[in-house]
């Protein structure tokens, strides 16, 4: 048995360990999703990881029902997830006033690499 009395152990467990389950990875407000968990997606930092980031962010948002057509749905959860998976030096001040579609299009314009032409079309 533990050297701590049972009531002290309960206080420590319920007050300390249950309050900070993931140290800032969840929202304290309950809303559409209840809580938003930041996915373990590598952050977009340059052209080298754009396509990987694009595939992962799209499938994550689709799984949450936050993807429509070719762009993220409008809403604070989708915008938060989108911006939280981008490196800090990539963010622009204008993103605060952009909607999700505009942010996604801007990132695509800045980081997507054009596909090379196939050898048969030369």
DSSP conformation letters of 16-78? IITT-SSSSSS-SS--SSSSPPPP-PPPB-SGGGHHHHHHHHHHHHHHHT-EETTEEPSSHHH
pTM (two decimals)? 0.64
The reply to whether 73 falls in a domain is yes
The reply to whether 45 falls in a domain is yes
The reply to whether 6 falls in a domain is no
* Average pLDDT for the chain: 78
What is the total count of domains within the chain? Answer: 1
The reply to whether 2 falls in a domain is no
Domain carrying residue 76 = 27-113
The reply to whether 4 falls in a domain is no
The reply to whether 70 falls in a domain is yes
Residues above pLDDT 70, as percent of the chain: 62
Q: What does each of the 122 residues of the chain score in pLDDT, given as a tens digit? A: 456 566 565 665 555 544 444 434 444 544 555 566 666 888 999 898 999 999 999 999 999 999 999 999 999 999 999 999 999 999 999 999 999 999 999 999 999 887 777 656 55
The reply to whether 119 falls in a domain is no
Q: Rounded to whole angstroms, how far apart are CA atoms 25 and 9?
A: 25
The reply to whether 31 falls in a domain is yes
Nearest residue to 77 (alpha-carbon basis) of 63, 91, 64, 92: 64
Cβ(77)–Cβ(66) below 8 Å: yes
């Amino acid at each position: 048995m533990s050297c701590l009395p049972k009531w002290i152990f309960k206080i420590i467990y319920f007050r300390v360990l249950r309050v900070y389950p993931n140290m800032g990875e969840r929202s304290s407000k309950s809303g559409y999703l209840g809580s938003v968990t930041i996915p373990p997606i590598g952050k977009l930092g340059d052209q080298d990881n754009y396509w990987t980031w694009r595939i992962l962010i799209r499938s994550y948002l689709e799984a949450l029902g936050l993807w429509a057509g070719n762009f993220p749905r409008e809403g604070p959860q989708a915008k938060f997830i989108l911006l939280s998976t981008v490196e800090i030096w990539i963010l622009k001040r204008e993103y605060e006033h952009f909607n999700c579609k505009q942010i996604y299009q801007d990132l695509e314009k800045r980081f997507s690499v054009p596909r090379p032409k196939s050898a048969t079309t030369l």
